[in-house]
Structure 1
């Protein structure tokens, strides 16, 4: 049975049971007057058949709560009258919790999936809050009788709260209110109305009890922060509104935004402005990729009838091009430019000595807020026999003066794939080792397979599902040669001879030397700083963004976070914004390029998100055919039956540029119908977006309407020619 069929079956069953309840008149029978009138009869039944009446009562109560039917309050009173306080509280407590959980599961099964597909962005932030504080919020709501319990059951079912969490919190939270009504039920005969049970004084008491957990949590947090702040001297005044530590992508954007709104800003950097992106990451790697592509194009020119022969690669010339690119971009990130924007640029090592004081050498900067944007550095595996000084990373790679004859790359993520392919094109014999079963482990299998095929064709040796164990000497292979020992999933081992080893296994956050431990600012298990969704740390005035936080160590992700950290720091007293990564694009600049925004199939399946898949092959695109770049595809995930985009993956030439169309569509909630209606220039790669939308539209064409149109046109053909009325005057 499919999910849709199960939903339909549950919906019909619930509707029939609810209809039976009202048609039978049970809702009219469940009144206080009826219960009082039949109290003696109920007690007689219970005295004659206690197990049958007790069990039937338990099942009836569970069913009514599960179907969200009215009458639970009156049944609670009846339970108190029948079973007394002790047994009544026990039976009703478990029955009401089981019924509430049943309602929770029904709402989740019927409505959560469709609502998540329709309101993904809104529910994403709610679910993050539920994950952090859901149990506390639910407990608070259960303690306050002002909120109908059946509404709480249904609403919580639409979130991603765990069923077991919902059950135990409900069991505990509903206990006080249940006890009040069960106790009142013992005096059922003397009750005049239900309002007599919950007097205004009792309601206020429950509200205060319900608010207590939230107030207590706020007080505890305030006490913790007060104690932390009390340990340090808070300045009477401040030199700056914001001090930013780190002048990489995140720090530069944070400084720019703060200065743009006329805040006084200090930007502290211990090394070169521009950080990893300018000096060792994005800019140099793309310059290297371009040089490598030139060599590859020379080899491939014969496909187009142009014979150039084997290119001669001058590594020093290649690196000169790389450093020239860095030099041309550097003025954008220079101290002179930022000083011109009003930013006080300070060179030196920054250390927090209090939440408001940053020491840089002999100078102490005081600030209302501090934004940590200290970035990250390449991670190096501590393999036995490895010489850290000789290991290549994305930091020191750009000083090479000689092309490695035999290069081993450890890591099959974006950096490993980009650099490994580039060196292979420049003439190195490259072996790439990846512990996962595929390259780019975050991407779908078919995406990785396309890239793997291209790398193998270019001579890159791929060792997938292999773990690097150790480095050994290799004197028999040359004076500079060494051997990398790798182990496959089946336990077998092999050895790869190399001259140089490039480590590309990720990056670790720069958190050392900042004085964070003394301030109690913790790091997560992966080494990044622990901040909330608004990028605030334990201290309300210390924020963090960029690679030091993650989870996406990308330049544009850092800029995205920097906006949130800066705005929240400067204006957080009025409004704070949580960071959303729903439409965050990511590109691996290999050839073919791999680009994605939103959900992949792998992620959609892991989250249980239903989707439709539309796939368009670039071998059908005229421009790609003409250019000889017809390897790859566009894959779009949409809400079943609708054109709203959940995610898009593009593999092929210029995939990063083409992805911008889908990123804009997701950001502005533009569906495939509107993409299809947009005029794209011919012939261009951007037409692939429109063609993908066309495939989706063709799969959702109105077959019934088209059938009627076919009949209509057939009728017109059979009826003969139409007699047109000549509106011109008759000629004499």
Structure 2
């Protein structure tokens, strides 16, 4: 029987099987291309690094901001050996692992200045520590710009403001986000004389403009002074009085205050931990670029929390 007739009869008699075979055959080149591209890419990444024959840990967490990740890791690896490394200079957050989490796995806590030196290793206090996986969970720090005269005045961030023993008589808040508005309302209720200043023409720029207008009215009802289009130029100290000098409507505007609160967003703690050495890419906002599984461009290195962002 002619082969062409056999094929034709098969197609007519078994259309579903034919469609399945056709799909597999046509998809195979794309599958091979995808897999080969993936492995070639990974080979190039790992080519210059030697994989340890034996690992010290299953997971190294640089920073304490990866509680949920570590908890899930322990669930999938009950006997995992984990170390959490904290740099006290930038990583202010505390680990919120529960006693049961610690009991389920072997978890060590170390302090120092960690740096990633390979896809499997970090350098800490002059020693090299290895792990099958590395997690970057360094969090973020409040943005405190180096304004002129800032070293002469009492300034705080949303994290440190709670250390004040009492509410200041005059509080100046710099910022236009939700955090700035919430602190303004909180201290107004504590009878502080609050001034909220922003260089923008509105509050809550990430929200609908009507929302910003609504919040502006609410703040006014609480007798909170809101300065829009006010660009801070410098701080001054005259005797015991602190003064902020703003450029508003092409003229200097002087605001007296006792304490200034910076609510100017956060900066990811991704500097000085070795990302440049491995060429781990960052997003435009300074966060580490990860995929939907929180992996970086290295399959063995993950990032989570405020230090990472996933952009599809």
**What TM-score does the superposition give when structure 1 sets the normalisation length?**
0.36
User: Equivalent of 2:109, from 330, 333, 346?
Assistant: 346
How far 1:376 sits from its partner (Å)?
0.3
User: Equivalent of 1:244, from 61, 72, 77?
Assistant: 61
Residues 166-315 of structure 1 aligned to structure 2 (within 5 Å): 215=33, 222-248=39-65, 251-263=66-78, 264-270=80-86
Corresponding position of 1:58: none
Counterpart-to-counterpart distance in 2, 1:265 and 1:526: 33
Larger RCO, structures 1/2 (Cα 8 Å, 6+ apart)? 2
Corresponding position of 2:179: 415
User: Equivalent of 1:439, from 203, 211, 215?
Assistant: 203
Counterpart-to-counterpart distance in 2, 1:255 and 1:530: 19
Do residues 465 (structure 1) and 229 (structure 2) align?
Answer: yes
Corresponding position of 1:487: 247
User: Equivalent of 1:523, from 260, 264, 282?
Assistant: 282
How far 1:225 sits from its partner (Å)?
3.4
Corresponding position of 1:403: 167
Change (3 A) 1:362 1:381: closer
How far 1:460 sits from its partner (Å)?
1.0
Corresponding position of 1:296: none
Counterpart-to-counterpart distance in 2, 1:227 and 1:509: 28
Change (3 A) 1:459 1:472: same
Counterpart-to-counterpart distance in 1, 2:108 and 2:241: 46
How far 1:383 sits from its partner (Å)?
1.9
User: Equivalent of 1:541, from 289, 300, 309?
Assistant: 300
SS of aligned partner of 1:367 = strand
Corresponding position of 1:358: 122
- Which protein is richer in helix relative to its size? 1
SS of aligned partner of 2:150 = coil
Do residues 452 (structure 1) and 216 (structure 2) align?
Answer: yes
Do residues 504 (structure 1) and 267 (structure 2) align?
Answer: no
Change (3 A) 1:541 1:403: same
Counterpart-to-counterpart distance in 2, 1:229 and 1:388: 49
Counterpart-to-counterpart distance in 2, 1:389 and 1:227: 51
1:294-348 C-alpha deviation (Å, 9 max, x unpaired): xxxxxxxxxxxxxxxxxxxxxxxxxxxxxxxxxxxx9xx2674532232413221
Counterpart-to-counterpart distance in 2, 1:469 and 1:389: 14
Q: Which runs of 5+ in 2 are unaligned?
A: 1-21
Corresponding position of 1:429: 193
Task: Determine if contact 2:64/2:85 at 8 Å carries over to the other structure.
Answer: yes
Counterpart-to-counterpart distance in 1, 2:287 and 2:83: 21
SS of aligned partner of 1:387 = helix
Change (3 A) 1:265 1:439: farther
Change (3 A) 1:487 1:218: farther
How far 1:418 sits from its partner (Å)?
1.6
How far 1:223 sits from its partner (Å)?
4.2
Q: Which runs of 5+ in 1 are unaligned?
A: 1-145, 148-202, 280-329, 552-578, 581-732
Counterpart-to-counterpart distance in 2, 1:414 and 1:276: 22
> Paired residues, what number?
285
How far 1:545 sits from its partner (Å)?
1.0
